[in-house]
Amino acid sequence: MTKRASLFSVTPEAGATPAVTHPPVKDEKRPHGRPPSREGKRTFSVYLKPEALKQLRLLSVQTGQSGQELGEEAINLLFEKHRLNRIA
C-alpha cells in the first residue's frame, strides 16, 4: 500500500481565487440571546407535585393566562398577604 500525500502539502493552483471569508456578524439585538420580555428578570423555580402541576396547567388553559402570568399573580398575592409591595 502506498502512503497518501498530506492534504496540507497540496499547493493552490495558479490563477485560482481564494475563498472569500466574511467576519462573523454579531447579533447586537440580544446580548445574551434572551427575549426582551426577560431582560432584567431572574429565574425562580419551584418543585411541585404532579397533581399540583396538572391543576396549574388546567387553570392556565381555563383562564387563558400563561404560567408566567399565573406565577406573577401568585407571588403578588403572597406579597400582599405579608403586607409587602406587589412588585412581581
User: Which residue would you say has higher pLDDT here, 7 or 43?
Assistant: 43
| pLDDT, averaged across the chain | 86
Judged on CB neighbours under 10 Å (0-12, 13-18, 19+), 88 is middle
What pLDDT shows up at residue 9?
78
Whether the per-residue pLDDT at 3 is higher than 90: the answer is no
Burial track 49-83 (b if 16+ CB lie within 10 A, e otherwise): eeeeeeeeeeeeeeeeeeeeeeeeeeeeeeeeeee
Q: Where exactly are the structural domains of the chain?
A: 48-88
The model's pLDDT over 63-88, given as tens digits with 9 standing for 90+, comes to 999 999 999 999 999 999 999 999 98
At 40-50, the pLDDT tens digits run 899 999 999 99
Q: What pTM did the predictor assign?
A: 0.59
| Alpha carbons 80 and 75: distance in angstroms, whole number | 9
